[in-house]
Amino acid sequence: MKQNVGRVDQAARYILAIVLVVIAAIFQGNWWWLLIPATILAFTAAISWCGLYRVFGVNTCKIKTEED
């Protein structure tokens, strides 16, 4: 799998995931659904690959891989 998420994008995804988890924890009740996008953001940041980026041809990763 070719990486398409760069370092800055990766950091932004982690930060946004943390913010969503905090919002869900503070407001509780019907805010639990925020954990779904938070999980997706954290997972895509961890593996440095985003399916939507692949579909739209976006690549924020500057590292050259063997697949390039």
Whether residue 12 lies inside any domain: the answer is: yes
Whether residue 68 lies inside any domain: the answer is: no
Whether residue 63 lies inside any domain: the answer is: no
pLDDT at position 1: 78
pLDDT at position 33: 95
Whether residue 66 lies inside any domain: the answer is: no
Range of the domain at 50: 7-56
Number of domains making up the chain: 1
pLDDT in tens, 13-60: 999 999 999 999 999 889 999 999 999 999 999 999 998 988 998 899
For the chain, the straight-line distance linking the first and the last C-alpha, in angstroms and rounded, comes to 11
Whether residue 67 lies inside any domain: the answer is: no
Q: Is the pLDDT of residue 2 over 70?
A: yes
- Are the CB atoms for 65 and 2 separated by under 8 Å? yes
Question: How many CA atoms are closer than 13 Å to the CA of 52, on its beta-carbon side?
Answer: 4
Whether residue 28 lies inside any domain: the answer is: yes
Whether residue 1 lies inside any domain: the answer is: no
